[in-house]
């Protein structure tokens, strides 16, 4: 292997301790603690694990988490009522609605009802629009985690060709706008892209966010490229289930200069960015008025 590993776990731990220090300093000076309202509808096991991890990460650094865990039968109106209540609550700096929601709920309508200043997931159209136009706002956690990883590892972005494989609203498109804002030349690829391996081979920075296990092979990677793997796929291997990314790691690591592992790459950065967005929201809400 020639590539160095981009260790998201270590970087996320460092960011969490920086945020904890900021919260300690400001609360010691008399500022109220930050608060994150978390809505988990129903009993989706994966969502329950995600939400438990998010709340634990909050508490570890001094963010209070508030919970609303209604049954899957909750009505749209009752869910909206909770969002409105937390929108109006000055102790709530961020509101997170864990997705997916049950079929009978209009998820987009719920997300749009969150006060965009409290939209720490960065899913509100106002925040998506701000990202597109280069205005400050909350950026979705996984894309922000990708950018922070690149920047904190000292990867030069200006003028580089970034190829993003995947055009989702929650990863591919926001990553593209973030890298464009850092002066990359950006190509977004998707299922209809012609000669995908060839386009990937032209990337200085290759971001994989497709959700297909090990689809990106080693010979799609330009020698010396930086490879960021956003995928998390569970595959049967040697009689067990194993987590792998969208990139064939061992092959790609032979050619890349820097590569993220799965697990332990982008994944841990996502929660760190949720905490960071919540702390940003709290900082703005509690800033002394001039
Ligand atoms: N479900 C899967 N990923 C996410 C996420 O990042 N945020 C929310 N709210 N729900 C999710």
Query: Domain for residue 165, yes or no?
Result: yes
Q: Are residues 169 and 259 in the same domain?
A: yes
- pLDDT band per the 50, 70, 90 thresholds, residue 4: very high
Nearest residue (by CA) to ligand 1, atom 1, is: 99
Does residue 245 belong to any structural domain of this protein?
Answer: yes
- Determine if ligand 1 sits within 6 Å of the CB of residue 93: no
**Cβ 258 under 6 angstroms from ligand 1:** no
For the Cβ of 97 lying below 6 angstroms from any atom of ligand 1, the answer is yes
CA 121 – CA 142 distance, rounded (Å): 9
Asked whether residue 135 is assigned to any structural domain, the reply reads: no
Domain closes at, from 116, 133, 152: 116
d(CA 243, CA 261): 10
Q: What is the model's pLDDT at position 1?
A: 66
Confidence of residue 289 (pLDDT cuts 50, 70, 90): confident
pLDDT of residue 45: 96
Residue 4 is classified by DSSP as: E
Average pLDDT, whole number, for the chain?
97
Please say which residue of 50, 83, 116 terminates a domain: 116
Residues 49 and 110 in one domain: yes
Domain identity same for 84 and 201: no
In a domain, 273, yes or no: no
Distance of CA 217 to the CA centre of its chain: 24
At 115 the pLDDT is 98
CATH of the domain at 97: 3.40.50.10860
Range of the domain at 246: 141-266
Q: Is the CB of 121 under 6 A from ligand 1?
A: yes
Q: Is residue 93 part of a domain?
A: yes
Q: Which two tokens stand for residue 95?
A: 């509101």
Domain assignment present for residue 130? The answer is: no
Domain-embedded: residue 94: yes
Residues 261 and 225 occupy one common structural domain: yes
My answer on whether 257 and 181 are in the same domain is: yes
Closest C-alpha to ligand 1, atom 11: 99
**Could you tell me if 158 and 241 lie in one domain?**
yes
Write the Ramachandran bin of 30: left for phi over 0, alpha for psi from -120 to 50, otherwise beta.
Answer: left
Residues 248 and 169 in one domain: yes
Domain-terminating residue out of 64, 99, 116 = 116
Task: Identify whether residues 73 and 175 lie together within a single domain.
Answer: no
The per-residue pLDDT for range 33-76, each reduced to its tens digit, is: 999 999 999 999 999 999 999 999 999 999 999 999 999 999 99
- What's the first-to-final CA gap in the chain, in angstroms? 55
Claim to verify: residue 88 and residue 147 sit in the same structural domain: no
| CATH code for the domain of 249 | 3.40.50.720
Domain-embedded: residue 52: yes
Q: What is the mean pLDDT of residues 229-251?
A: 96
- Give 97 Cα–ligand 1 centroid separation in angstroms: 8
Nearest atom, ligand 1, residue 270 CA: 6
Number of helices (H) and strands (E), helices first, in the chain?
10, 11
Q: Looking at the structure, tell me whether residues 45 and 109 fall in a common domain.
A: yes
- Measured CA to CA in angstroms, residue 227 lies from 9, 37, 137 at distances of 16, 34, 27
Query: Please, are residues 152 and 11 in contact by the beta-carbon 8 Å criterion?
Result: yes
Domains of the chain: total: 2
**Active-site positions?**
54, 98, 121
User: Same domain, yes or no, for 209 and 256?
Assistant: yes
The answer to whether the CB of 96 is under 6 A from ligand 1 is: yes
């Amino acid at each position: 292997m020639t590539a160095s590993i981009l260790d998201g776990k270590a970087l996320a731990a460092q960011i969490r301790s920086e945020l904890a220090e900021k919260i300690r300093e400001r609360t010691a000076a008399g500022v109220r603690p930050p608060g994150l309202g978390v809505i988990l509808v129903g009993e989706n096991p994966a969502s329950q694990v995600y939400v438990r991890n998010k709340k634990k990460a909050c508490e570890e650094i001094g963010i209070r988490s508030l919970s609303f865990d209604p049954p899957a039968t909750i009505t749209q109106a009752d869910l909206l009522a909770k969002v409105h209540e937390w929108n109006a609550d000055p102790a709530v700096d961020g509101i997170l609605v864990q997705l997916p929601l049950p079929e009978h709920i209009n998820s987009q309508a719920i997300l749009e009802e969150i006060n965009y200043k409290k939209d720490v997931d960065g899913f509100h159209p106002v925040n998506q629009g701000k990202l597109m136009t280069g205005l400050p706002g909350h950026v979705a956690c996984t894309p922000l985690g990708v950018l922070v990883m690149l920047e904190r590892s000292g990867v030069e972005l200006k003028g580089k060709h970034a190829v993003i494989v995947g055009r989702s609203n929650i990863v591919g498109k926001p990553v593209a706008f973030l890298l464009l804002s850092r002066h990359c030349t950006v190509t977004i690829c998707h299922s209809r892209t012609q000669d995908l391996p060839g386009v990937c081979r032209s990337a200085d920075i290759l971001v994989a966010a497709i959700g297909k296990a090990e689809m990106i092979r080693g010979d799609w990677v330009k020698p010396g490229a930086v490879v960021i793997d956003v995928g998390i796929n569970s595959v049967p291997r040697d009689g067990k289930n194993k987590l792998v990314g969208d990139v064939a790691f061992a092959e790609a690591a032979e050619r890349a200069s820097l590569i993220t592992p799965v697990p332990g790459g982008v994944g841990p950065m996502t929660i760190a960015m949720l905490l960071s967005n919540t702390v940003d929201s709290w900082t703005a809400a509690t800033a002394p008025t001039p």
